[in-house]
Amino acid sequence: MDGFDRKSCPECAERIPHAAKKCPFCKSPQGKTWWTKNPVLLAILPGLLYMAFALNSLHNTTSKPNYFFSDYVQRVPVTSSEMSLETSEGSRTVTVVGTIRNDTNIPWEHPVIEGQFYDKSGKLIDVVEDFYSSMTLMPHQEQAFRINGEASRPAAAYANHKIFLRHAGDAYHFSR
């Protein structure tokens, strides 16, 4: 019966009682796993976990392609735009509202939309640019936009306008 209520100490292999918290022969604590008794392993474990996380992040960043908006700009057209001019308390504001259609399979974030304004002779007289920090142009969808800025000329000078999507970032890249 003596063998059933005893176990072997993992350190010295002496037979000790099952309920012993410490070996009476070698004084090693019982019930802990091998790695908790190794102070060197306990000291480097956080570093190993950090390195594993960093390597995983690096793999995720390098395994997905980066898409450059300049390669796709022709497939993200401005589909409509309307210009208006307002004068209020001595200041003039030029505003353009319109829509952009994303004909690519890539979501584009943070677009920069530029409005160029021309006089009756076709001469460029003003430029307004807006950065949309919270806008995402989803694939195969239209998105409304509005740009406005201070007009540098009287309202009568503005005869025509053109809208350009100057830049946008690859939303896949930003989400990594």
> Which is nearest to 139 in space by CA: 116, 110, 111, 108?
108
Assess contact for 172 and 67: CB atoms under 8 A: yes
HSE-CB of 118 using CA atoms within 13 angstroms: 8
User: What pLDDT, in 10s, does the model give residues 94-114?
Assistant: 999 999 999 999 999 999 999
69-174 has which CATH code? 2.60.40.10
What 44-48 contacts at long range (C-beta under 8 Å, 24+ apart), as own/partner pairs, is: none
- On whether the pTM is more than 0.85, the answer is no
Kindly list the averaged pLDDT for each block of 10 residues, start to end, along the chain of length 176.
75 88 87 68 81 77 70 93 90 93 92 95 94 90 94 92 91 57
Cα 55 to Cα 130: distance, rounded to the nearest angstrom = 37
E-assigned strands of the chain? Answer: 6-8, 15-17, 78-88, 91-102, 108-118, 124-131, 136-137, 141-150, 160-170
Residue at 128: amino acid letter: V
What are the boundaries of each domain within the chain? 6-63, 69-174
What's the residue count for the chain? 176
Assess contact for 132 and 103: CB atoms under 8 A: no
pLDDT score, position 63: 56
SS3 104: coil
